């Protein structure tokens, strides 16, 4: 039994899809996928509280783990490509599943304080990384998902899942976890060995419905290679290398924390923004409404920027990029259960100094609102050819890029494996950049949860700005 930072590894399984196909199957990567080919994986943890009797090691390892393992095998039968690998046999990389391919499943036990791990207040950023599995990648192949289940005796357990972004976006990875949780819960409730999956959770893998009308795939591949050479000059060499690039997590002197904006908070922020709207934009009527996304991002962004600038005075220029789900925005629209990447990134056209101005909230909110309005009017892929040059230009001007991961629409707190809803859900990989992690509020009241990893002194100032700002009437 290996031990590492209070973590005991009990077993390492290779879970094969149940009744797996005897045929080798392949899937092409679309232009939405190739954008993320060597990008860091998305790492997410679901924490579940258990009664004392169920979280006793003997019960957990003899009853709960076999159930989770068998339901995972059953789920993978519906999601065969996830057990495969990304390979690059000829001109373009592909997803390839061959018989007996499997998913890595680590079973571990931690003596960390469960309540400390899941608390919202700042704690060491490295702590949660113990509960996330590594995703294997080499020059010649990349695994697609890996999973780690960690027991916290007498308290609960976590399911950590690491996913390759070139195969699935946030909506798809959430759908897979929903499918697994549904089948696991059904197995417990009905004692059926082969429950059927709900139609809405059946994945659609047909890549032909994504039309690459502007040959964006080739453009992205070429620009991506050039862009990565600039970012990682030591990674030159094999053009077909599939090893994930070293976007190292920021852990030293960094802390992880979660903040909440209630429905009332969001209404207060909205009134503040709209009350000043016409002072700045005299030729435009103010909008009837502003989405929770616009309000949450704008408020979080100005607090982050002002906190960073407050600690590191030389950092004063900021920009914001977010991803848009394109499923309903393409012609023809893509079915909701399409499984793969169908997101596109957009940069907000704001002035880099707007984020730290006194009225930064209204300036940034307006910029995000305008960007979404332009997407709705001109199409989600408008200006796609310029994305790399825009990013390179901002980087050369030493602009701090802030991005967002997750969504308050995924419903992650509703995912129940049979032992109740999650006590905490965290996107761990936000520590690999300056990223806001979003989820819906756990209490289902319409608020939004914000996850952050920042330097400790920056987080302290952010917390002060965030909470004081909500007290302003």
Domain residue spans of the chain: 2-235, 254-471
Residues marked as catalytic: 165, 416
**Omega before 332 cis (within 30°)?**
yes
What pTM was computed for the model? 0.95
Domain 2-235 adopts which CATH fold?
A: Chloramphenicol Acetyltransferase (3.30.559)
β-bridge mates for residue 44, sequence order: 161, 427
Domains 2-235 and 254-471 belong to one CATH topology: yes
Q: What is the pLDDT along the chain (473 residues), one digit of tens a residue?
A: 343 458 999 999 999 999 766 789 999 999 899 889 999 999 999 999 999 889 999 999 999 999 999 999 999 999 999 999 999 999 889 999 999 999 999 999 999 999 999 999 999 999 999 999 999 999 999 999 999 999 999 999 999 999 999 999 999 999 999 999 999 999 998 877 778 999 999 999 999 999 876 677 777 777 766 777 777 877 766 778 899 999 999 999 999 999 999 999 999 999 999 999 988 887 788 898 999 999 999 999 999 999 999 999 999 999 999 999 999 999 889 999 999 999 999 999 899 999 999 999 999 999 999 999 999 999 988 877 777 778 778 878 989 999 999 999 999 999 999 999 999 999 999 999 999 999 999 998 999 999 999 999 999 999 999 999 999 76
For helices 387-396 and 216-231, what crossing angle results, to 10°?
Answer: 20
* DSSP annotation of 62: I
The burial of 143, by beta-carbon neighbours within 10 Å (0-12 exposed, 13-18 middle, 19 or more buried), is given as: buried
Find the helix or strand (DSSP H, E) in which 452 lies: strand 448-455
Give the DSSP letter string of 231-291.
Answer: H-GGG-S-TT--PPP------TTEEEEEEEE-HHHHHHHHHHHHHHHHHH-TTSPPPS---
* 8 Å CB contact between 69 and 224: no
39 vs 46: CA distance, rounded Å: 22
Please choose, from the candidates 451, 447, 458, 417, the residue with its C-alpha nearest in 3D space to the C-alpha of residue 437. 451
Query: Which residues, 6+ apart, have CB-to-CB distance to 149 below 8 Å?
Result: 65, 68, 105, 106, 107, 108, 157, 158, 159, 160
* 8 Å CB contact between 375 and 65: no
Query: Which residues, 6+ apart, have CB-to-CB distance to 272 below 8 Å?
Result: 361, 362, 472
3-state secondary structure of 69: helix
The CATH H-level (homologous superfamily) assignment of domain 254-471 is Chloramphenicol acetyltransferase-like domain (3.30.559.10)
């Amino acid at each position: 039994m290996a031990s590492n930072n209070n973590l005991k590894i009990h077993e390492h399984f290779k879970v094969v899809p149940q009744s797996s196909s005897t045929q080798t199957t392949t899937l092409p990567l679309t232009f939405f996928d190739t954008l993320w080919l060597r990008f860091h994986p998305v790492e997410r943890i679901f924490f579940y509280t258990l009664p004392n009797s169920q979280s006793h090691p003997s019960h957990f390892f003899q009853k709960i783990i076999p159930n989770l393992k068998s339901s995972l095998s059953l789920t993978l039968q519906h999601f065969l490509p996830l057990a495969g690998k990304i390979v690059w046999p000829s001109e373009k990389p592909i997803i390839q599943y061959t018989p007996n391919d499997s998913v890595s499943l680590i079973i571990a036990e931690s003596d960390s304080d469960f309540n400390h791990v899941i608390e919202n207040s700042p704690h060491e950023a490295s702590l949660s990384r113990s509960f996330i599995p590594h995703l294997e990648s080499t020059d010649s192949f990349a695994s697609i998902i890996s999973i780690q289940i960690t027991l916290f005796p007498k308290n609960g357990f976590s399911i950590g899942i690491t996913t390759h972004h070139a195969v699935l976006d946030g909506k798809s990875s959430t759908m897979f976890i929903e499918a697994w949780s549904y089948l696991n819960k059904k197995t417990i409730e009905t004692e059926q060995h082969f429950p059927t999956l709900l139609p809405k959770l059946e994945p659609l893998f047909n890549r032909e419905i994504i039309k690459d009308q502007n040959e964006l795939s080739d453009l992205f591949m070429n620009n991506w290679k050039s862009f990565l050479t600039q970012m990682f000059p030591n990674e030159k060499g094999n053009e077909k290398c599939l090893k994930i690039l070293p976007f190292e997590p920021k852990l030293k002197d960094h802390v992880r924390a979660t903040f909440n904006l209630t429905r009332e908070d969001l209404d207060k922020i909205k009134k503040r923004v709209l009350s000043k709207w016409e002072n700045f934009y005299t030729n435009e009527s103010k909008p009837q409404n502003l989405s929770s996304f616009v309000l949450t991002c704008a408020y979080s962004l100005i607090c982050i920027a002002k906190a960073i600038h407050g600690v590191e005075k030389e950092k004063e220029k900021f920009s914001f990029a977010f991803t848009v789900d394109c499923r309903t925005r393409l012609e023809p629209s893509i079915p909701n259960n399409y499984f793969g990447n169908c997101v596109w990134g957009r940069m907000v056209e704001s002035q880099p100094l707007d984020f730290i101005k006194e009225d930064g909230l209204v300036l940034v909110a307006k910029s995000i609102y305008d960007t979404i309005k332009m997407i709705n009017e001109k199409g989600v892929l408008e200006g796609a050819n310029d994305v790399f040059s825009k990013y390179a230009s901002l980087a050369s001007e030493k602009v701090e890029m802030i991005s967002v991961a997750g969504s308050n629409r995924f419903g992650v707190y509703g995912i129940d494996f049979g032992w109740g809803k999650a006590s905490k859900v965290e996107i761990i990989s936000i520590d690999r950049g300056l990223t806001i992690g979003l989820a819906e509020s756990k209490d289902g009241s319409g608020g939004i949860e914000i996850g952050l990893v920042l330097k400790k002194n920056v987080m302290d100032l952010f917390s002060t700005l965030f909470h004081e700002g909500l007290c302003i009437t």
